[in-house]
């Protein structure tokens, strides 16, 4: 629990968890990044809370797993707060046909998906193969063809200046790769799962991962789908049809596996990725008259 003494600390009291002029490359699944002037790495939620309170009115950015972001600026001056990594989740309540589990925002999605499946808890299999953390997945309403994280959310706890607020799922707006949680510092979330035979849950999860493995460059240095699908159309399909698979700017290349993924083949810079994004948008615009919008965040 938070202590008032912690909340009253000033930003200077957090020098222990502050890294100055830190390369952001290791914090991005692209492995590309400029410099963060001030990168804070709180150890846990309580410290995150105290830190964000101490930053007062100063704008800061929240960084989760870094699996959907391109650090394009050579220098980011605004403080960045890295969501503390979590390793565990817990069962909160078991009732007939429903098991409520809770995970901190910094828990890797894969841990939650694999471990709940092993315990025979169904509901998160659609998130199998989705990288990143629980918090990031909620903000982005991550998911795939079979559903999104929104389908299993019961409530989300967000930190505010003086405490925490629990937002029931019914009060959160979830849309295509977007939610009203954007900009909130998420502490934890609860998911309503269903008890099932563990083998059945794991089987469904495996099928979804296999499907992904066949159609996406899983494990590559990339940030998932780069562009939103225009309504009713696959951005990857358009880029593929435009003949852009394998197209490259420096070491940034359109994946040969799925054309809506840009992969860093080695030493790609942010400028390479941006140039490739421009090239793709230009070509798709010219051929199909469709303007692709980026899904990844560009910082």
- CA distance readout (Å), 143 to 134, 151, 166: 12, 10, 23
Indicate the residue among 36 and 259 with the shorter CB distance to ligand EPU: 259
Indicate whether 229 belongs to the interface with ligand EPU (CB under 6 A).
Answer: yes
The answer to whether 249 is a known catalytic residue is no
Catalytic residue among 47, 125, 184, 295: 295
Indicate whether 202 belongs to the interface with ligand EPU (CB under 6 A).
Answer: no
Indicate whether 246 belongs to the interface with ligand EPU (CB under 6 A).
Answer: no
**Ranges within 124-183 binding ligand EPU (CB under 6 A):** 144-145, 177
Indicate the residue among 54 and 148 with the shorter CB distance to ligand EPU: 148
Indicate whether 258 belongs to the interface with ligand EPU (CB under 6 A).
Answer: yes
Shortest distance (Å) from residue 267 CB to ligand EPU = 23
Q: Residue 235: enclosing H or E segment and its boundaries?
A: helix 235-241
Give the dihedral sign, CA 38/141/135/110.
negative
Helices 198-215 and 109-118 sit at what angle, rounded to 10 degrees?
140
Indicate the residue among 116 and 141 with the shorter CB distance to ligand EPU: 141
Indicate whether 234 belongs to the interface with ligand EPU (CB under 6 A).
Answer: yes
The answer to whether 177 is a known catalytic residue is yes
Distance CA 265, CA 50 (A): 40
Distance CA 34, CA 133 (A): 22
x/- track of binding to ligand EPU for residues 83-122 (CB under 6 A): ----------------------------------------
Around Cβ 155, how many Cβ atoms within 10 Å? 18
The answer to whether 222 is a known catalytic residue is no
Instruction: Tell me which stretch binds ligand EPU (CB under 6 A): 32-40, 70-78, 258-266, 285-293.
Output: 258-266
Indicate the residue among 114 and 234 with the shorter CB distance to ligand EPU: 234
In the three-class reduction of DSSP (H, G, I as helix; E, B as strand; rest coil), residue 142 is classed as coil
Out of 10, 160, 165, 215, point to the residue binding ligand EPU (CB under 6 A): 215
DSSP 27: G
Instruction: Supply φ then ψ for residue 121, to 5 degrees.
Output: -115, 115
Catalytic residue among 177, 178, 204, 281: 177
Contact in structure between 159 and 108 (CB atoms under 8 Å): no
Distance CA 125, CA 167 (A): 23
- Give which of 101, 172, 177 is closest to 136, Cα–Cα: 177
Shortest distance (Å) from residue 150 CB to ligand EPU = 13
Q: Residue 192: enclosing H or E segment and its boundaries?
A: strand 185-195
Instruction: Tell me which stretch binds ligand EPU (CB under 6 A): 75-83, 99-107, 223-231, 276-284.
Output: 223-231
Give the dihedral sign, CA 150/152/154/157.
negative
Distance CA 39, CA 261 (A): 28
Out of 74, 163, 168, 237, point to the residue binding ligand EPU (CB under 6 A): 237
Q: Residue 99: enclosing H or E segment and its boundaries?
A: strand 98-104
Indicate whether 220 belongs to the interface with ligand EPU (CB under 6 A).
Answer: no
Out of 37, 228, 279, 281, point to the residue binding ligand EPU (CB under 6 A): 228
Shortest distance (Å) from residue 182 CB to ligand EPU = 15
- Catalytic residue annotation: 177, 225, 295
Residues in contact with ligand EPU by CB under 6 A are: 144-145, 177, 215, 224-225, 228-229, 234-237, 240, 258-260, 295
């Amino acid at each position: 629990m938070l202590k008032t003494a912690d909340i009253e600390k000033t930003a200077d009291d957090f020098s222990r968890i502050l890294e100055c002029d830190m390369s952001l490359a290791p914090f991005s699944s692209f492995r590309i990044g400029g410099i963060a002037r001030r990168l804070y790495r709180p150890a846990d939620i309580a410290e995150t809370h105290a830190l964000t309170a101490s930053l007062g009115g100063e704008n800061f950015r929240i960084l989760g797993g870094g699996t959907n972001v391109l650090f394009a600026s050579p220098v980011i001056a605004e403080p960045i707060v890295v969501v503390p990594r979590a390793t565990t989740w817990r069962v909160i309540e078991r009732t007939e046909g429903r098991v409520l589990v809770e995970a901190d925002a910094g828990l890797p999605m894969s841990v939650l998906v694999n471990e709940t499946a092993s315990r025979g808890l169904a509901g998160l299999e659609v998130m199998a193969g989705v990288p990143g953390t629980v918090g990031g997945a909620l903000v982005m309403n991550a998911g795939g063809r079979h559903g999104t994280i929104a389908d299993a959310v019961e409530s989300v706890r967000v930190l505010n200046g003086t405490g925490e607020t629990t937002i029931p799922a019914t009060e959160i707006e979830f849309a295509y790769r977007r939610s009203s949680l954007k900009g909130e510092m998420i502490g934890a979330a609860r998911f309503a799962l269903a008890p099932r035979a563990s083998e059945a849950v794991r089987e469904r999860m495996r099928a979804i991962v296999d499907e992904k493995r066949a159609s996406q460059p899983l494990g590559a240095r990339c940030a998932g789908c780069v562009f939103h699908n225009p309504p009713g159309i696959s951005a990857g399909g358009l880029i593929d049809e435009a003949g852009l698979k394998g197209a490259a700017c420096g070491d940034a290349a359109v994946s040969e596996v799925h054309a809506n993924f840009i992969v860093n083949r080695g030493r790609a810079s942010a400028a390479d990725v941006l140039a490739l994004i421009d090239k793709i948008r230009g070509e798709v615009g010219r051929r199909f008259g469709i303007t692709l919008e980026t899904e990844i965040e560009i910082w």
